[in-house]
Amino acid sequence: MPPNPVASPVPTLHSPGVFHRLLGSLSIFTMLMTIPQVLTIWVGHRAAGVSMLSWTAYLASAVVWLWYGIQKRDKNIYLPCLGWILFDGAVIVGALFYG
């Protein structure tokens, strides 16, 4: 006799709610980790070593993901992209200004 498939009462990483919370948490964490770079440029007026190619690629990626997230109506995609566009733009403008 095959086992009776019963839904697990404990949320796992595979459950949509847990996965969405993990994605949201990682988005916030990675944006927080970008703040020191933005502060180094805008407060410390130091943009040495900032790769414009990398940050422009990050910005382009965030714009494409924003567009995709809006199309899918998935706030777990498009809301973090708004933050990334702001941070990426701040790094790029700051690097142009102080570089």
Q: Which CATH class is domain 17-98?
A: mainly alpha
**Cβ contact 29:38 at 8 Å:** no
Give pLDDT, residue 5: 63
Residue extents of the structural domains in the chain: 17-98
CA distance 10 to 23: 19
pLDDT digits (tens, 9 = 90+) for 36-85: 999 999 999 999 999 999 999 999 999 999 999 999 999 888 999 999 99
**Cβ contact 4:53 at 8 Å:** no
Give pLDDT, residue 73: 94
Give the global pTM. 0.78
Record the tokens describing residue 50, joined without a space: 């900032």
Average pLDDT of the segment spanning 13-37: 86
CA distance 18 to 76: 12
Task: With H, G, I as helix, E, B as strand and everything else as coil, classify residue 45.
Answer: coil
